[in-house]
Structure formats: C-alpha cells, structure tokens
C-alpha cells in the first residue's frame, strides 16, 4: 500500500500557507474598502434631518451625518418614502409612461424629474450600502482563511511527526 502521508503533508502545508497569506490581505483590503466608503460618504456631507422630520423608525439617526453603509441604507429608505409621497406612489417608469401620452404636461415633467433625481440618489446610497456588506464579507472570509490555514498547517505538522 502506498504511503500518502508525505504528499498529504506537502499539500496541507501549501494550501494552509496560501490561506494564511491570503487571509490578512483580504482583511486589509476589506478594511481599506470600508475606509473608502466612509470617506466618500463623508465627502458628500449628507446629514439626516431632525427627529420631527423623520419617520419614527429613523429618528435614531436624527442630525447625524451619513458615514456607514447602514446609515446610507436608512437615508436611501427615507428618500424612497419622500419620492413615493411626492409622486403619489408612482415610479419614474410609471410617470414616464404617463408623460408619453401627455407630452406637454409641465407638472408631470417636473414630477418625472423629481422621481428621477430621488431614485438616482437612492441608487447611489444603496450602492454604498451593498459595498459595505461586500467589504464585511471580505473581512470575514479573510479571518476564516486565516483560521482554516492555521488548522491545515497544524494538521500537516501533526501528520509529519506522527509515526
């Protein structure tokens, strides 16, 4: 019977070392991504209104500056509510379709512009929120890579020394 211990030790060590190398890189990249998102949001200087101008579920953000992914989502949700209120619950696409039949309606044209701007702002904030989650995932995967890599290297060491 062929002894596979030697190749197994080599493979476990190589894969473990690769994971131990990749893990910290992933953590660093994830943390860097979060810093970029924070900076971009800070540069936008987006601030929540005071509590009396916010829906009840967002009052905890009153007066604070948007600087994280979850705050970006909360602000995006506020924008969505404002746009729906302004458009009577209609989307940009619905207003555009209506405008196609009433081309000279200035009020409808302005309403379409409001819907467009609101949905565009919301999309940008939702992109920040999604990027925040991706960076969190990259950090978590980096930590998992390090733990699994260490386990593989230790397993290889045990295999190499067991008789």
Instruction: Please give the pLDDT value at position 163.
Output: 64
Instruction: Please give the pLDDT value at position 130.
Output: 98
Q: How would residue 104 be classed by pLDDT, with cut points 50, 70 and 90? A: confident
Q: Where is pLDDT greater, at 54 or 148?
A: 148
Task: Indicate the helix (H) or strand (E) that contains 129.
Answer: helix 106-161
CA 163, CA 159: separation in Å to the nearest integer?
8
Q: DSSP of 42-95, one letter per residue?
A: HHHT-B---GGGS-GGGGGGTTPBP-SHHHHHHHHHHHHHHHHHHTTT--HHHH
CA 50, CA 58: separation in Å to the nearest integer?
10
CA 60, CA 31: separation in Å to the nearest integer?
26
Q: DSSP of 131-153, one letter per residue?
A: HHHHHHHHHHHHHHHHHHHHHHH
Q: b/e map of 101-116 (b: 16 or more CB within 10 Å)?
A: eeeeeeebeebbebbe
What is the average pLDDT across 64-87?
A: 95
List beta partners, residue 47. Answer: 65
Task: Indicate the helix (H) or strand (E) that contains 22.
Answer: helix 5-44
Instruction: Please give the pLDDT value at position 1.
Output: 54
Task: Tell me how many degrees the CA angle 123-41-24 measures, rounded to the nearest 5.
Answer: 100
Look up residue 127 and give its DSSP letter: H
List beta partners, residue 65. Answer: 47
- Cα 108 → chain centroid: 34
**Reported pTM:** 0.83
């Amino acid at each position: 019977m062929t002894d596979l211990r030697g190749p197994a030790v080599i493979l476990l060590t190589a894969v473990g070392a690769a994971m131990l190398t990749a893990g910290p890189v992933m953590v660093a990249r994830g943390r860097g991504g979060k810093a970029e998102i924070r900076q971009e949001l800070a540069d936008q200087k987006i601030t929540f209104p005071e509590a009396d101008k916010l829906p009840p579920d967002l009052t905890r953000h009153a007066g604070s500056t948007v600087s994280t992914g979850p705050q970006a989502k909360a602000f995006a949700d506020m924008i969505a509510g404002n746009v729906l209120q302004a458009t009577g619950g209609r989307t940009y696409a619905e207003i555009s379709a209506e405008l196609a039949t009433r081309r000279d309606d200035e009020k409808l044209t302005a309403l379409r512009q409001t819907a467009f701007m609101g949905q565009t702002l919301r999309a940008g904030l939702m992109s920040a929120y999604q990027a925040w989650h991706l960076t969190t995932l990259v950090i978590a995967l980096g930590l998992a890579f390090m733990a699994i890599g260490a386990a593989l290297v230790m397993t290889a060491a045990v295999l190499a020394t067991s008789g």
